[in-house]
Structure 1
Amino acid sequence: MYKNKILLILISTILSFSYAQEMFQTVNPKDATLVKSDSSKEFCNVCGMHLTKFYKTNHVTEFKNGHKEQYCSIHCQAKVDEAFKEKIKHVQVVDTNSLELIDAKSAFYVVGSSKKGTMSMVSKYAFLSEKEAKEFQKEFGGEIHNYNEALKIAKDDFKNDDKAINQKRIKVAQKGKKIYESLCKEVSKEFNSIGEAKQYLIDNKVCKNLKPQMQQAVAIYLYNPLLAVDKNKIINVPADAKCPVCGMFVAKYPKWVASINIKEAHTHYFDGVKDMMKFYFNPSKFAHNHSKDEFKDIKVTDYYTLNAISAKEAFYVIGSNIYGPMGEELIPFVSKEKAQKFLNDHFGKKVLKFEEIKESMLY
């Protein structure tokens, strides 16, 4: 217990130091306009980052239903635009000079200046007038674009930016995992964003007395626990691997991966145990003429640790209120105790061993 306290103090100190460094984007809270009124008022609902710390790149989206959200950057704004473009009514951006919210479509963006970007290697700062944008450009470099052009650049940069962001998040997620395991109640829920995870932690009082930086670390871990796992212990899926049962790209669903290794041949990957078992019982139905004698190694992903475990030694919960990529799933656990606890928490119907799974259950 004492060691855990020392560890958490060290984590808190490291996180506090990294957040305390002064940034160009940061403003005094009294100079910031925050439009939300719920528990997510101070952070971005996509990445969870503090809005005042990254205020000069903030964007505000008003949706057609009247709801407003505030994002730390055009990178996060672009994520929302890509997912909900048809639902967006109006977008505002912070004017870098006045710190007022202005119409994004009338703004002049300086893209690629020497000032650091937010959630992107290529910075993007907005100005009310072209004259102000040119003055900033003269001092710090970059190119001037309108909103739609800047938005497209942000989307084109997703692949490289997300890769760099996830690399930076690895250590934070690992710290978040330690904090979560020491100070938080168990959460069995999938999150669509770090911001959503962070708001859930706050609204449900999941953790004890966490500083904002520690809260962010836990939210990053809960959103993408794979960042904190040992890559040698998980099922590593090729990017182009498709599930032979449903045809989906399996790498998109790393928390649910299962695999069957065919003796002296190749490996089939699945986006869940349910599809894997359909294949196991009747491979010919999916255009493969394998016999069960050829199935050399069968692996599933433990729900809590995300480690690869033996399918034949795992315990499976059926009928719970947690769904996988293909809907209702057989959810695997490394121990019967873990499976039973999950069943109790999530209204499961039964815990099964591998040999108790019947083909009729899968349909």
Structure 2
Amino acid sequence: MSHNKKCWGTTEQGVDVHLHTISNEGGFEACVATYGATLTKLKVPMSEGRKLDVVLGFDQLTGYLQDKNYIGSTIGRTSSRISGATFNLLGKQYFLDRNERDNHLHGGEKGFNSRIWTESTTTASSNQTIKLSYESPDSEGGYPGNLKVYVTYTLIENGLRISYKAETDKPTPVNMTAHPYFNLDGDGKDAGNHELKIFSDHILYFDENLIPNGEFIPVAGTNADFSEFSPLNCSTTNTSGHPVKHDCFYPLNSGKDKLSLGALARSHSSGLEMEIATTQCGIQLYSGDYLSKNTVGKQGCIYGPRSGFCLEPQTHPDALNRPEFPSIILHPGNIYEHITEYRFRKFSKRD
């Protein structure tokens, strides 16, 4: 077990960014940068002492400073979209950053993904833990309240746990998530042959701007059906021969607050399977179709559309403007908490 820290560079404003690396006896290794509380590496032990890095990223800090795809970052205060970049709370209308057409996406122009996080005081028992915090001031991005947030990365026996915590001095929305792009082959090539299984029977209906209208659609008989293992490129009902673009929210069958299995992903090329367990009530699937083309990633890998996919545990998009959705308002005196675990195991490859 080890926990190492190094200076990884500086931002354009001259602020130092540190990179933390943790490892455990099981052979797992994770790297997290204080810029955006970003997961830059997640290495999984394979056969013969080999390790496979299963997340997209960059070798240098400059890659993250220039990135527009939220690669590996922590998303907040809210994930996904808020329609019209506005909401009403306790009789007052709030106006947020409009950073995707007329809507607000992933916390705005400078969300948590582009902030410098503080390393929290740790103890000797933290060899497998990286704990970061950030104080979001009142009105940042248009949000009310001073919000103190914590993100803790912990290596577990079979993978990685990410824990979230937040406190506020005014009622404010909070709906945080992680945004790693996974590729279980570790090569940054097209991940469309990865197979997914999502433990949900419905998706939210989205309009052309990916804003929900409140309707839930059964996945059975649609291209969004991953109730059984199906390739990312084409679900079991797609016969067109063309990859299906996925950017869908799945309310999980397990509900909220209990750590439960939400999704599975596997690659027959590497023989690796990943479980995603979460206390959140839903998962956003994004198939990575709009990843920037010809992006130079780790070790010279060239990233582009479908180099990786995201499975983002969160609460319903645009919940602020949909009172029928679960509330994402955090009140003073209450604590926002949720957990996501990424667990890995080998499985028998298809003959």
TM-score (ref. length: structure 2):
0.19
- Structure number with the bigger relative contact order (C-alpha 8 A, sep ≥ 6) is 2
More strand by share: 2
TM-score (ref. length: structure 1):
0.19
- Rg bigger for which structure? 1
More helix by share: 1
